[in-house]
Amino acid sequence: MAHEHCDHSHNHSHPTPAGRGLALAFFLNISFAVVELVGGLLTNSVAILSDALHDFGDASALGLAWYLERVSSKKADSAFSYGYRRYSLLSAVITSTVLICGSLFMAWRAVDRLIHPESVNAQGMLLLSILGILVNGLAFKFTHHGHSHNEKAVSLHLLEDVLGWVVVLIASIVMMFVEVSWLDPALSLAISSYILWGSVKRIRETSLVFLQRVPTDIDLSSVRNALQKVAGVERVLDLHVWSTDGQQNIVTLSVRMKLGSPGGAALRASLTEALGPLAHHHVTIELLEANEPSLGCEST
């Protein structure tokens, strides 16, 4: 044969279905968000209302993660030839957009409360903060042993929630003894700003995956140099690496063989080995004989 074209090396490891821990974390979070919303209204605390919004966003993320974890594990078909992994990215975009809009609204409310301060029920804040630490701590316990990408991300977010409620607990104790009406809206503004920063960061990272940026943990020059050193390779013409969901990578490469190189399965095996960890994802290899033109765009 003149060349070996589009050899696919598949070693896909589909994520495990959303486990019982993720489901329990979702129901805990959505239930507590409702309690928190009512409690925030009763205590007149915009800090708690801000975190209630945060928890509704978290619950949405948990619900989508739970559902899309199963959808994204579906095998490739005629409609989605690379599989359904990008459904998890869609979840991230939706959740982050909701959180950004909500954070801006709650920040506006907090600034208004700073200008026109109102009293809050510190005792009620104290009770809700204790409940918040317990609920989010329990949800974190359910998810932090998870092996999927979704479960790891969710467990980290829940840990941040626990720490946020610790801050509310401290503030409520202070307000029980000292009249500081500005503390609650200031805390709300800090929480909203933190959520806004994290949500913008998440949207940026997700957008880069959608735009097929080379994953940040991959040095394309090092990969190219490793491939160039494989016996029988004259030149690596095309090398492209992108990710379907920020976890599973797609690799395509076009290699010109040295004159007289036998090529075939042995060379493809050597190239796959040179790819290292990337070989465990979706790999497409095009082998070209010495004088054969590449079908792709030559890259340097």
20-210 — its CATH code?
1.20.1510.10
The whole-chain average pLDDT of the chain stands at 78
- Mean local confidence (pLDDT), 134-148: 74
Instruction: Measure Cα distances from 200 to 103, 163, 196, 224, 236 in Å.
Output: 11, 20, 6, 33, 37
147 pLDDT exceeds 70? no
111-114: list long-range contacts, CB under 8 Å, 24+ apart: 111/185, 111/189, 113/46, 113/184, 113/185, 113/188, 114/182, 114/185, 114/186, 114/189
Greatest extent of the chain over all pairs of C-alpha atoms, in Å: 86
241 pLDDT exceeds 90? yes
- Mean local confidence (pLDDT), 173-198: 81
246-259 pLDDT tens trace: 778 899 999 998 88
62-93 pLDDT tens trace: 787 778 767 777 888 888 888 887 877 777 78
- Mean local confidence (pLDDT), 105-118: 82
- Mean local confidence (pLDDT), 227-253: 89
pTM of this prediction? Answer: 0.69
Q: Which CATH code, of 3.30.70.1350, 3.30.390.50, 3.30.470.10, 3.40.470.10, is assigned to 215-288?
A: 3.30.70.1350
Exposed/middle/buried for 267, CB within 10 Å: 0-12, 13-18, 19+? buried
Three-state secondary structure string covering the chain: CCCEEEEEECCCCCCCCCCHHHHHHHHHHHHHHHHHHHHHHHHCCHHHHHHHHHHHHHHHHHHHHHHHHHHCCCCCCCCCCCCCCCHHHHHHHHHHHHHHHHHHHHHHHHHHHHHCCCCCCHHHHHHHHHHHHHHHHHHHHHHCCCCCHHHHHHHHHHHHHHHHHHHHHHHHHHHHHCCCCCHHHHHHHHHHHHHHHHHHHHHHHHHHHHCCCCCCCCCHHHHHHHHHCCCCEEEEEEEEEEECCCCCEEEEEEEEECCCCCCHHHHHHHHHHHCHHHHHCEEEEEEECCCCCCCCCCCC
10-63 pLDDT tens trace: 444 444 444 566 677 788 888 888 887 888 888 777 767 776 777 787 777 778
pLDDT of 14 reads 43
pLDDT of 1 reads 36
pLDDT of 225 reads 92
Axis crossing angle, helix 149-177 with helix 122-143, rounded to the nearest 10: 160
Domain with CATH 1.20.1510.10 in the chain: 20-210
Domain with CATH 3.30.70.1350 in the chain: 215-288
Q: Which range scores top for mean pLDDT: 171-180, 251-260, 276-285?
A: 251-260
- Residue 164 tokens read as 């946020």
